[in-house]
Amino acid sequence: MVDLFGKLVVRSHAPKRRAVLLTLAALAVLFVLYAMFELGRYDAGFRLVDSVRGALAAAARIRDLEAENGRQREELEAADVARRVDREGYKQVERSLGDMQSQIARLTQDLSFYRGLVQPDSLVHVKVQTMQIVPGAAAGQFGLKFVLMQTGKPDRSVAGSVTLSIDGLLRGKPGTLSFAQVSPNRRVGVAYSFRYFQDYDEPIALPQGFEPTRVGVEIRAGKDAIHGFRQAFVWKAQGMSMETEAGAAAAGLGPPNGGTERDVQVETE
Protein backbone atom coordinates (compact mmCIF):
# COMPACT_ATOMS: atom_id res chain seq x y z
CA MET A 1 0.00 0.00 0.00
CA VAL A 2 2.83 2.29 0.83
CA ASP A 3 4.34 1.70 -2.60
CA LEU A 4 1.10 2.55 -4.36
CA PHE A 5 0.74 5.93 -2.63
CA GLY A 6 4.41 6.64 -3.23
CA LYS A 7 3.87 6.51 -7.05
CA LEU A 8 0.68 8.57 -7.05
CA VAL A 9 1.03 11.87 -9.04
CA VAL A 10 -1.55 14.62 -8.48
CA ARG A 11 -2.23 16.89 -11.54
CA SER A 12 -4.61 19.82 -11.67
CA HIS A 13 -7.31 19.73 -14.38
CA ALA A 14 -8.85 23.14 -15.50
CA PRO A 15 -10.47 22.86 -18.99
CA LYS A 16 -12.20 26.26 -18.84
CA ARG A 17 -9.01 28.16 -18.19
CA ARG A 18 -7.32 26.32 -21.02
CA ALA A 19 -10.11 27.25 -23.42
CA VAL A 20 -9.88 30.88 -22.37
CA LEU A 21 -6.14 30.89 -22.91
CA LEU A 22 -6.51 29.33 -26.35
CA THR A 23 -9.16 31.89 -27.29
CA LEU A 24 -6.99 34.75 -26.14
CA ALA A 25 -4.07 33.35 -28.03
CA ALA A 26 -6.15 33.08 -31.22
CA LEU A 27 -7.43 36.63 -30.81
CA ALA A 28 -3.89 37.85 -30.26
CA VAL A 29 -2.77 36.12 -33.46
CA LEU A 30 -5.71 37.67 -35.38
CA PHE A 31 -4.94 41.09 -33.97
CA VAL A 32 -1.31 40.77 -34.94
CA LEU A 33 -2.29 39.68 -38.45
CA TYR A 34 -4.77 42.56 -38.81
CA ALA A 35 -2.17 45.01 -37.46
CA MET A 36 0.29 43.73 -40.05
CA PHE A 37 -2.40 44.08 -42.75
CA GLU A 38 -3.17 47.68 -41.75
CA LEU A 39 0.54 48.43 -41.54
CA GLY A 40 0.97 47.15 -45.07
CA ARG A 41 -1.92 49.31 -46.36
CA TYR A 42 -0.52 52.30 -44.47
CA ASP A 43 2.86 51.80 -46.11
CA ALA A 44 1.09 51.57 -49.50
CA GLY A 45 -0.57 54.98 -48.94
CA PHE A 46 -4.03 53.83 -47.81
CA ARG A 47 -5.64 55.77 -44.97
CA LEU A 48 -8.64 54.30 -43.25
CA VAL A 49 -9.84 57.70 -42.09
CA ASP A 50 -9.61 59.09 -45.62
CA SER A 51 -11.54 56.08 -46.91
CA VAL A 52 -14.32 56.66 -44.40
CA ARG A 53 -14.43 60.33 -45.26
CA GLY A 54 -14.61 59.53 -48.99
CA ALA A 55 -17.46 57.08 -48.41
CA LEU A 56 -19.37 59.67 -46.36
CA ALA A 57 -18.77 62.33 -49.02
CA ALA A 58 -19.93 59.95 -51.78
CA ALA A 59 -23.09 59.14 -49.80
CA ALA A 60 -23.80 62.86 -49.33
CA ARG A 61 -23.19 63.47 -53.06
CA ILE A 62 -25.57 60.65 -53.96
CA ARG A 63 -28.26 62.16 -51.74
CA ASP A 64 -27.76 65.59 -53.36
CA LEU A 65 -27.94 64.09 -56.86
CA GLU A 66 -31.11 62.19 -55.99
CA ALA A 67 -32.69 65.39 -54.66
CA GLU A 68 -31.61 67.29 -57.78
CA ASN A 69 -32.98 64.50 -59.96
CA GLY A 70 -36.30 64.73 -58.14
CA ARG A 71 -36.45 68.51 -58.68
CA GLN A 72 -35.61 68.16 -62.38
CA ARG A 73 -38.26 65.47 -62.75
CA GLU A 74 -40.83 67.80 -61.22
CA GLU A 75 -39.73 70.63 -63.52
CA LEU A 76 -39.94 68.31 -66.53
CA GLU A 77 -43.46 67.28 -65.60
CA ALA A 78 -44.45 70.94 -65.18
CA ALA A 79 -42.89 71.79 -68.55
CA ASP A 80 -44.74 68.90 -70.18
CA VAL A 81 -48.02 70.13 -68.75
CA ALA A 82 -47.27 73.67 -69.97
CA ARG A 83 -46.38 72.30 -73.42
CA ARG A 84 -49.68 70.44 -73.65
CA VAL A 85 -51.54 73.57 -72.57
CA ASP A 86 -49.69 75.63 -75.19
CA ARG A 87 -50.46 73.01 -77.85
CA GLU A 88 -54.15 73.15 -77.04
CA GLY A 89 -53.98 76.93 -77.12
CA TYR A 90 -52.28 76.85 -80.53
CA LYS A 91 -54.94 74.50 -81.84
CA GLN A 92 -57.68 76.83 -80.66
CA VAL A 93 -55.89 79.79 -82.25
CA GLU A 94 -55.52 77.87 -85.52
CA ARG A 95 -59.19 76.95 -85.48
CA SER A 96 -60.14 80.55 -84.77
CA LEU A 97 -57.81 81.75 -87.53
CA GLY A 98 -59.30 79.24 -89.98
CA ASP A 99 -62.82 80.41 -89.09
CA MET A 100 -61.79 84.03 -89.52
CA GLN A 101 -60.20 83.28 -92.91
CA SER A 102 -63.36 81.50 -94.02
CA GLN A 103 -65.45 84.45 -92.89
CA ILE A 104 -63.12 86.86 -94.69
CA ALA A 105 -63.34 84.75 -97.86
CA ARG A 106 -67.16 84.74 -97.69
CA LEU A 107 -67.26 88.48 -97.02
CA THR A 108 -64.85 89.05 -99.90
CA GLN A 109 -67.08 87.05 -102.22
CA ASP A 110 -70.11 89.00 -101.06
CA LEU A 111 -68.22 92.26 -101.53
CA SER A 112 -67.18 91.26 -105.03
CA PHE A 113 -70.76 90.30 -105.85
CA TYR A 114 -72.26 93.56 -104.60
CA ARG A 115 -69.44 95.56 -106.14
CA GLY A 116 -70.30 93.94 -109.43
CA LEU A 117 -73.93 94.90 -109.01
CA VAL A 118 -73.05 98.54 -108.44
CA GLN A 119 -70.20 98.66 -110.95
CA PRO A 120 -70.15 102.07 -112.70
CA ASP A 121 -71.12 102.41 -116.32
CA SER A 122 -68.59 100.61 -118.46
CA LEU A 123 -68.46 99.04 -121.85
CA VAL A 124 -67.43 95.79 -120.20
CA HIS A 125 -70.21 94.21 -118.14
CA VAL A 126 -68.12 91.21 -117.08
CA LYS A 127 -65.91 90.79 -114.02
CA VAL A 128 -64.12 88.10 -112.03
CA GLN A 129 -66.39 86.90 -109.24
CA THR A 130 -63.88 84.67 -107.40
CA MET A 131 -60.18 83.91 -107.78
CA GLN A 132 -58.50 80.85 -106.28
CA ILE A 133 -54.84 79.86 -106.62
CA VAL A 134 -54.13 76.13 -106.20
CA PRO A 135 -50.53 74.80 -105.99
CA GLY A 136 -49.59 72.17 -108.56
CA ALA A 137 -47.63 68.95 -108.27
CA ALA A 138 -44.23 70.50 -109.03
CA ALA A 139 -42.53 73.58 -107.66
CA GLY A 140 -43.61 76.76 -109.42
CA GLN A 141 -46.73 75.17 -110.91
CA PHE A 142 -50.15 76.55 -109.98
CA GLY A 143 -53.71 76.54 -111.19
CA LEU A 144 -55.72 79.75 -111.49
CA LYS A 145 -59.37 78.93 -110.83
CA PHE A 146 -61.69 81.88 -111.38
CA VAL A 147 -65.29 82.57 -112.31
CA LEU A 148 -66.46 85.24 -114.77
CA MET A 149 -69.96 86.65 -114.38
CA GLN A 150 -72.08 89.38 -115.87
CA THR A 151 -72.76 92.51 -113.88
CA GLY A 152 -76.25 93.82 -113.79
CA LYS A 153 -79.11 92.01 -115.47
CA PRO A 154 -77.94 89.10 -117.68
CA ASP A 155 -80.45 89.65 -120.47
CA ARG A 156 -78.11 88.58 -123.27
CA SER A 157 -74.93 86.62 -123.89
CA VAL A 158 -71.56 88.33 -123.74
CA ALA A 159 -68.26 87.47 -125.41
CA GLY A 160 -64.74 88.77 -125.30
CA SER A 161 -61.25 87.98 -124.06
CA VAL A 162 -59.38 87.88 -120.75
CA THR A 163 -55.69 88.65 -120.30
CA LEU A 164 -53.87 87.51 -117.16
CA SER A 165 -50.60 88.74 -115.66
CA ILE A 166 -48.57 87.92 -112.54
CA ASP A 167 -46.90 90.70 -110.56
CA GLY A 168 -44.03 89.90 -108.23
CA LEU A 169 -40.31 89.98 -107.57
CA LEU A 170 -37.67 88.22 -109.63
CA ARG A 171 -34.34 88.10 -107.78
CA GLY A 172 -35.44 91.06 -105.68
CA LYS A 173 -36.55 93.25 -108.61
CA PRO A 174 -40.24 94.01 -109.29
CA GLY A 175 -41.68 92.89 -112.57
CA THR A 176 -44.69 91.44 -114.33
CA LEU A 177 -45.05 88.12 -116.12
CA SER A 178 -47.51 88.02 -118.98
CA PHE A 179 -49.87 85.11 -119.47
CA ALA A 180 -47.84 84.00 -122.51
CA GLN A 181 -44.76 83.67 -120.29
CA VAL A 182 -46.43 81.47 -117.66
CA SER A 183 -48.94 79.52 -119.76
CA PRO A 184 -47.77 76.04 -120.83
CA ASN A 185 -49.27 76.65 -124.30
CA ARG A 186 -47.87 80.23 -124.50
CA ARG A 187 -51.36 81.64 -124.97
CA VAL A 188 -51.80 85.38 -124.90
CA GLY A 189 -55.24 85.20 -123.24
CA VAL A 190 -58.44 83.22 -122.91
CA ALA A 191 -61.79 83.83 -124.57
CA TYR A 192 -65.19 83.89 -122.90
CA SER A 193 -68.73 83.57 -124.15
CA PHE A 194 -71.60 83.06 -121.73
CA ARG A 195 -74.79 84.58 -120.40
CA TYR A 196 -74.63 84.06 -116.65
CA PHE A 197 -71.15 82.88 -115.63
CA GLN A 198 -68.21 80.76 -116.80
CA ASP A 199 -65.60 78.76 -114.87
CA TYR A 200 -61.89 78.66 -115.71
CA ASP A 201 -58.99 76.51 -114.51
CA GLU A 202 -55.80 77.77 -116.14
CA PRO A 203 -52.46 76.08 -115.32
CA ILE A 204 -49.39 78.30 -115.06
CA ALA A 205 -45.69 77.71 -114.39
CA LEU A 206 -43.61 80.40 -112.69
CA PRO A 207 -39.86 80.68 -113.31
CA GLN A 208 -37.45 79.76 -110.56
CA GLY A 209 -36.72 82.62 -108.18
CA PHE A 210 -39.94 84.51 -108.96
CA GLU A 211 -42.01 85.51 -105.91
CA PRO A 212 -45.59 86.34 -106.95
CA THR A 213 -47.52 89.04 -105.12
CA ARG A 214 -50.75 89.46 -107.08
CA VAL A 215 -52.69 88.39 -110.15
CA GLY A 216 -53.88 90.97 -112.66
CA VAL A 217 -56.94 90.31 -114.83
CA GLU A 218 -57.92 92.53 -117.77
CA ILE A 219 -61.28 91.85 -119.37
CA ARG A 220 -62.27 93.17 -122.79
CA ALA A 221 -65.63 92.95 -124.51
CA GLY A 222 -65.81 91.64 -128.05
CA LYS A 223 -62.96 92.84 -130.23
CA ASP A 224 -62.53 96.14 -128.42
CA ALA A 225 -58.79 96.56 -127.92
CA ILE A 226 -59.02 100.00 -126.31
CA HIS A 227 -61.49 99.78 -123.45
CA GLY A 228 -61.34 97.17 -120.75
CA PHE A 229 -61.95 96.41 -117.10
CA ARG A 230 -59.03 95.52 -114.90
CA GLN A 231 -58.99 93.72 -111.55
CA ALA A 232 -56.12 92.73 -109.25
CA PHE A 233 -56.08 89.96 -106.63
CA VAL A 234 -53.61 89.29 -103.84
CA TRP A 235 -51.56 86.15 -104.46
CA LYS A 236 -52.75 83.65 -101.89
CA ALA A 237 -52.14 79.98 -102.54
CA GLN A 238 -54.70 77.54 -101.09
CA GLY A 239 -57.58 79.90 -100.46
CA MET A 240 -59.69 82.62 -101.98
CA SER A 241 -57.61 85.60 -103.13
CA MET A 242 -58.93 89.01 -102.13
CA GLU A 243 -59.47 91.71 -104.73
CA THR A 244 -57.19 94.69 -104.20
CA GLU A 245 -58.27 97.04 -106.97
CA ALA A 246 -60.69 97.31 -109.84
CA GLY A 247 -61.21 99.92 -112.50
CA ALA A 248 -61.35 100.75 -116.15
CA ALA A 249 -58.24 100.15 -118.21
CA ALA A 250 -57.28 101.58 -121.57
CA ALA A 251 -54.68 100.35 -124.01
CA GLY A 252 -51.39 102.21 -123.81
CA LEU A 253 -52.10 103.79 -120.42
CA GLY A 254 -50.36 101.17 -118.36
CA PRO A 255 -51.58 99.62 -115.10
CA PRO A 256 -54.18 101.50 -113.04
CA ASN A 257 -51.87 101.99 -110.07
CA GLY A 258 -49.82 104.56 -111.95
CA GLY A 259 -46.65 102.44 -111.98
CA THR A 260 -44.61 101.31 -114.93
CA GLU A 261 -45.50 97.84 -116.07
CA ARG A 262 -42.46 95.82 -117.10
CA ASP A 263 -42.47 92.33 -118.56
CA VAL A 264 -39.92 90.08 -116.93
CA GLN A 265 -37.58 88.46 -119.41
CA VAL A 266 -37.64 84.72 -118.80
CA GLU A 267 -35.27 82.32 -120.53
CA THR A 268 -37.01 79.26 -121.93
CA GLU A 269 -35.50 76.10 -123.21
Residue range 188-198, pLDDT digits in tens? 889 999 988 99
For the chain, list the domains and their CATH numbers.
123-250 (2.60.40)
Position 212 pLDDT exceeds 90: yes
pLDDT, mean of residues 173-199: 91
> What is the pTM assigned to this prediction?
0.48
Residue range 119-137, pLDDT digits in tens? 544 567 888 988 999 998 8
Q: What is the DSSP string of the chain?
A: -HHHHHT-------HHHHHHHHHHHHHHHHHHHHHHHHHHHHHTT--HHHHHHHHHHHHHHHHHHHHHHHHHHHHHHHHHHHHHHHHHHHHHHHHHHHHHHHHHHHHHHHHHHHHHHTPPS-S--EEEEEEEEEE-SSTTEEEEEEEEEESS---S-EEEEEEEEEEEEETTEEEEEEHHHHSTT--S-EEEEESSEEEEEEEEEPPTTEEEEEEEEEEEETT-SSEEEEEEEE--BSSBPPEEEEEEEETTS--TTSS---BPP----
Lowest mean pLDDT among 149-153, 175-179, 193-197, 251-255: 251-255
Position 269 pLDDT exceeds 70: no
